[in-house]
Structures are given as C-alpha cells and as structure tokens.
C-alpha cells in the first residue's frame, strides 16, 4: 500500500489550525457544525463538504444590519447562542460592516461606515433588517441619521444582493403592528419591491438565520421559501407535528389549568391555548438557547403563542383555542377518567320508553309520507288543502 500524500496531510493540518484559530473550534467540532447546518437545511448526504468549503474559503459577504421598531431581541438572542458561540462564528463567517447595537462608534462615523461598505460591495452585500417599519405620517416615528426607516430601507435595498427580514417585526409587523397600530407598522416586504426572505419569531432561532446565510455562502443564493418568504427548512412543518406532547393530544390527555395534574405530567397544552397546531416553525426540533433538552416554550410548560405566524402571534389571546390545521378535537373532549354510571332506574326506563315510542311513531308517519305530494299526504290525514299547500 502506498503512503499517504504528505501534501494532503499538510493541507489538512493547516485547515485544522485555521478552524481552531478562526472559529475557536476543534476540527472535529467544526466538521460537526457544518454537518448540522447541512442537515438543518435539508441538504443531501455529503453536502456538508460544500458547506465546510464555503465557510472556510468563501469571501465573507458584507452585511448591513438595520434596526427599526423592535426590542433588539433578535440580536440579543444571536449573541447568546453557544456551541459554538455565535458571536465568534457569525463575525467570522460574515463581515458585519454596519450594526448599530454592536458598533463602538456612533453618529456620523457609523453612517459613514455604512455608506462606505455599500459602495465597496455594491450588488454583493446582504441587507438584514430587524424591526417593523412605521409608515404613518410619512414614517416620522422612526429615524436614524435623520432618515426615516422607509428611506433607509429603500436606499440600502437598492444595491443589495439579498434582503433578509429577521424577527416577526421585520417579517410582518409583529408586536408594533397590533391593533390599533398607531404608527402604521408593517413588514419589510410592504416597503420594497425586491424579494425578502423572512425569518419570523420573537425572537427567532438564531440558527435559522445562520443557516440561511451559510446557504447563501455555499450556493450563491438564498434557500427555497414559502409564499410568505420563510425558508422551507425551518417553517414548512407545524409546531404541533413535532411536539413532544403530541402523543398526549392524540390520546385526549390535556392540561386544563396551569399547575394541575395534567400540566405537571407533561400533557398537551392545547386547552391552555397552545397555538402550535396553527403555527409553522421548527422550535420543537431546533430548540432554543443551547441549554439542553426541553428548552423551548412548550417543553418548559408554556403554550406556544404563535409568534412566527401572522394573524396568530400578538393577535389571538393566549387562552383562545388554536385552529388545528390537521386534526381538531372537540371542545367537549371527554375527561381522562370518566365517572362510572350506576345503571338506569325503573322510573327513568319508563320515561325513556315512552319518549322512544313517541319518537318511533312520529318517524313512522314521516317516513310513510316521504315522496308523496302535499295533496296526497293531506288527503290521507283527512284535512282539506289548497293549491299552495296550506291546510
């Protein structure tokens, strides 16, 4: 057998050292991360090699990140992700050239950096928008650098290679757009004509955003989306379908009150207002916060509020029952342990027989008249009837 090619071995060692230095990961952990991203995106077997090459060698795309009407929860969630720490990885996978929250500079320096990055990467940069955009009174309710959110969005989107709306606020208006919506808040897709990839959630899972960016790095285009602009790899299945409490739903085992026996046993939260049956998201499988098993709202015992779904999150009260999109149990679902009856009494049986007899007699008369004209039926009853059917 021939010996291994020393050039290949040296190249592998160099890549190992680069991954460890650049990302703070061992080569093994980095490969595992690439494989996980490929699986998350639903890519075929072996695609992790392409993801690996893109992350390691592709030129980092410039990212312009705008903030409008929001709580900064999307950014905060990203910065708190671990395994690996997302702040280290995301700042190495992309070139974050403008981000108000993370910038050390302020004022004119920040705006100058944005314009310089846009000019140097014209037609190639990614535009990420966090927060809803107010439209009432010409958008005066949100300004940055003396420009309205509407003006900034259109200016930055004009030469962007792709536009990503992160969070429910940017995706469709989110919390700021709830009634009475005093500022006329809307999502990014209502402001610009370009296609917008939406990653809803309040906040969204940071890995859904990262996987979307890595798909762009690997294939030069954003991942397939649904009619609302959501990546199919993350938003094609109902929360209900992959929920660990689904078996209890199918068996009719529901928590009725917070803290009751069913709630403590982990039964389905449908009757507590869980919106999982009408909400598309990968929360049960991707989990949240890198804190171990069960780290998502339903896993922790709270109903899903449908934060990724327009018309559900921030629109339907938490206690309102969800509209189940596949199987809908009746509100009067029987209890888990029904009380056993003691049998019918003689008096009740007599009443029941009388009622049943009367119903049977009425049914027989009705059945006999089926198919007969009004005149025939009236003649059999011995009652006169005019041509209009009145007796």
Residue 190 has what DSSP assignment? Answer: G
**How far, in Å, are 20, 25, 144, 156 from residue 29 at the CA level?**
9, 6, 40, 36
Q: The domain 237-334: what is its CATH number?
A: 4.10.480.10
Q: Per CATH, is 58-234 categorized as 3.40.50.700?
A: yes
Domain segments of the chain as ranges = 58-234, 237-334
The larger pLDDT score, comparing residue 347 to residue 316, is at 316
> Pick the residue with more confidence: 266 or 42?
266
Q: Is the pLDDT of residue 360 over 70?
A: no
Q: What average pLDDT does the chain have?
A: 78
Taking alpha carbons only, the member of 193, 219, 207 closest to residue 288 is 207
Task: Tell whether the torsion through CA atoms of 86, 88, 93 and 99 is positive or negative.
Answer: positive
- Report whether 86 contacts 210 (CB < 8 A): yes
**Count of CB atoms situated within 10 Å of the CB of 185:** 26
Q: How confident is the model at residue 344 (pLDDT cuts 50, 70, 90)?
A: very low
For residue 128, whether the previous peptide bond is cis, meaning omega lies within 30 degrees of 0, is no
Phi (first) and psi of residue 312, to 5 degrees: -115, -65
User: 271: Cβ–Cβ under 8 A, 6 or more apart, which residues?
Assistant: 254, 255, 256, 321
Q: DSSP state, 81?
A: -
What is the pTM assigned to this prediction? 0.70
Eight-state DSSP code of residue 61: P
SS3 percent helix, strand, coil of the chain, rounded to 5, is: 45, 10, 45
* Average pLDDT of the segment spanning 182-204: 94
Query: CA–CA separation, 199 vs 66, rounded Å?
Result: 15
List pLDDT tens digits, range 228-262.
Answer: 999 999 999 999 988 999 989 988 899 999 999 99
CA distance 242 to 12: 39
Residue 209: predicted pLDDT: 87
How many CA atoms within 13 Å lie on the side-chain side of 171? 27
Alpha-carbon distance of 354 to 332, in angstroms, equals 29
CB atoms within 10 A of CB 260: 13
Tell me how many degrees the CA angle 307-313-315 measures, rounded to the nearest 5: 165
Please list the residues that pair with 98 across neighbouring strands. Answer: 64
With contact defined as beta carbons under 8 Å apart, do 315 and 107 qualify?
Answer: no
- Under a CB-based contact definition with an 8 Å cutoff, are residues 266 and 245 in contact? yes
Q: How far apart are CA 361 and CA 349, in angstroms?
A: 18
Token pair 């009367």: residue: 358
List, for residues 19-50, the tens digit of each pLDDT value: 555 556 676 666 666 666 666 655 556 555 55
pLDDT-based confidence at residue 288 (cuts at 50, 70, 90): confident
The 8-class DSSP code of residue 96 comes to E
Helix locations, the chain, DSSP H? 6-23, 27-40, 48-57, 73-79, 86-93, 108-120, 149-157, 168-172, 206-219, 232-235, 239-242, 246-251, 261-264, 283-286, 346-369, 374-381
């Amino acid at each position: 057998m021939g010996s291994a090619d020393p050039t290949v071995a040296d190249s592998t060692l160099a890549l190992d050292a680069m991954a460890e230095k650049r990302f703070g990961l061992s080569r093994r952990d980095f490969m595992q991360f690439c494989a996980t991203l490929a699986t998350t995106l639903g890519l075929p077997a072996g695609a992790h090699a392409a993801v690996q090459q893109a992350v390691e060698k592709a030129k980092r795309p410039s990212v312009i990140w705008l903030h409008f009407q929001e709580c900064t929860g999307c950014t905060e969630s990203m910065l708190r992700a671990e395994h690996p720490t997302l702040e280290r990885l995301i700042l190495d996978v992309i070139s974050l050239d403008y981000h108000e929250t993370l910038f050390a500079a302020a004022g004119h320096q920040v705006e100058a950096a944005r314009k310089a990055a846009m000019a140097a990467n014209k037609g190639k940069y990614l535009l990420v928008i966090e927060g809803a955009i107010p439209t009432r009174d010409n958008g005066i309710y949100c300004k940055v650098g003396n420009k309205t959110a509407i003006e900034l969005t259109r200016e930055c989107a004009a030469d962007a290679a792709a536009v990503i709306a992160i969070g429910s606020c940017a995706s469709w208006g989110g919390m700021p757009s709830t009634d009475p919506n005093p500022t006329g808040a809307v999502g990014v897709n209502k402001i610009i004509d370009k296609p917008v990839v939406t990653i809803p959630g309040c906040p969204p899972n940071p890995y859904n955003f990262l996987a979307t960016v890595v798909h762009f790095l690997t294939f030069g285009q954003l991942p397939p989306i649904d009619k609302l602009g959501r990546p199919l790899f993350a938003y094609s299945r109902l929360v209900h379908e992959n929920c660990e409490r689904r078996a209890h739903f199918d068996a009719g085992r529901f928590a009725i009150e917070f803290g009751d026996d069913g709630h403590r046993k982990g039964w389905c939260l449908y009757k507590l207002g869980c919106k999982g049956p009408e909400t598309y998201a990968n929360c049960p499988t991707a989990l949240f916060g890198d804190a171990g098993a069960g780290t998502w709202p339903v896993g922790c015992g709270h109903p899903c509020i449908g934060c990724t779904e327009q018309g559900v999150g921030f629109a339907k009260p938490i206690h309102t029952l969800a509209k189940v999109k596949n199987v809908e149990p009746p509100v009067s679902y029987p209890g888990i342990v029904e009380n056993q009856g003691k049998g019918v009494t003689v008096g009740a049986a007599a009443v029941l027989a009388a009622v049943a007899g009367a119903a049977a007699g009425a049914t027989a008369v009705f059945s006999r008249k089926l198919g007969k004209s009004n005149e025939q039926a009236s003649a059999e009853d011995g009652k006169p009837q005019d041509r209009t059917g009145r007796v």
